Homo-oligomer: A and B are copies of this chain.
Amino acid sequence: MLVVMKPQASPAQIDAVLEKIRGLGLTPHAIPGAQRVAIGMTGNKGAIDAGHFVSMPGVADAIRVSQPFKLVSREVKEEDTVIEVGGACIGGPTVCVMAGPCSVESREQILEAAHGVKRLGATFLRGGAFKPRTSPYEFQGLGEEGLKLLALAREQTGLKVVTEVMDPDDLSMCAEYADVLQIGARNMQNFSLLKKLGAMRKPVLLKRGPAALLREWLMAAEYLLSEGNYQVALCERGIRTFETMTRNTLDLNAVPVLKSLTHLPVIVDPSHGIGLRRHVPAMARAAIAAGADGIIVEVHPRPECALSDGQQSLSLPEFGELMAQARVIAGAVGRPFQPG
């Protein structure tokens, strides 16, 4: 059940609805909108009678929500969520570009990457300080030192910083240095981490687990929203299938399906998705043509020397070519790049 308030509803009228919901033993969730406030509710076992709400002052409508996911659903909030980060946006009329190396490796590397991708049109800098690695014997990231280098790169370039957080103990530290916190694919259903991040007011980029159903992914996002954090973007990064020629199978079907089910922005990571450097541009173009709100691309000043994921990282000149192609596609679908 979603109670939609009239545009001119007063704070007192909204409070009365919240109180009514609590009186029914349920938890209200006020959802901010540009035109009006809507109020979702959770905790019910069966259907709720719309009659409780429709005649209350200031209420425009009470809508049944048919999906197991609620706050993330378009039934509850029809208009697109736009996440504003300083001057940059995720979602909305423009396509955003996030780029940078897999891992922060050194001062020189991250600054060269940041200046390079900034010059070529990116608005967000990606880079890992804490790296989830299949083997305990592989490079695990620079930790706080990496976060500081990302902050330095932001200071020099104006790019917003996206970085992965893996450990709940590092949350506040990561939040201090970064603009957007990424939940990695392997942690998509790390519910402890989701709940803690949901309680923060920091934008989140939630990657899809490699075997996650779209429904499960939306439910993972629902963990964030149900704790009060509405600044969530979804990131498709490839699913696991039987095919072995590509690292993963980038599932672009997810883009139009998600855009119809949820108001959250949908970003695509073609680098992990196909995992083959020479084919990243084709998948980036396809993602934008399919309606994605942005792309996140691995770019390294010297991919052949990267400490991780070098085989799928673009060099700066390759990224420049991709940007030229992607810009044309973005124009063709009526969604220009954000001005850098």
Contacts and interface: CB of A to CB of B under 8 A. Distances in A.
Interface of A: 42-43, 68-70, 132-137, 166-169, 186-187, 189-192, 195, 209-211, 213-216, 219, 222-223, 226-227, 239-246, 249-253, 255-257, 260, 273-274, 276, 278-279, 282-283, 285-291, 325, 328-329, 331-333
The 3 closest A-B pairs by CB, nearest first: A211-B211, A289-B289, A167-B192
A283 B274 contact: no
A69 B245 CA distance: 14
A191 B138 CA distance: 12
Nearest to A250: B253
20 contacts: A43-B137, A69-B135, A168-B169, A186-B191, A215-B245, A239-B243, A243-B253, A249-B251, A250-B252, A252-B283, A253-B279, A256-B282, A257-B274, A282-B291, A285-B290, A286-B286, A286-B287, A289-B329, A329-B329, A331-B332
A213 B190 contact: no
Contacts of A286: 252, 255, 286-287, 289-290
B226 A137 contact: yes
A252 to B, nearest CB: 5
A259 B82 CA distance: 37
Contacts of A192: 166-169
Number of copies: 4
Contacts of A288: 289
Contacts of A287: 286
Given A166-B191, A333-B285, A274 B253 contact: yes
A239 B329 CA distance: 26
Nearest to A185: B189
Nearest to A187: B190
Contacts of A166: 190-192
B283 A135 contact: no
B283 A253 contact: yes
A128 to B, nearest CB: 13
Nearest to A184: B189
Contacts of A239: 241-243, 249
Given A168-B169, A282-B291, A332-B328, A211 B249 contact: no
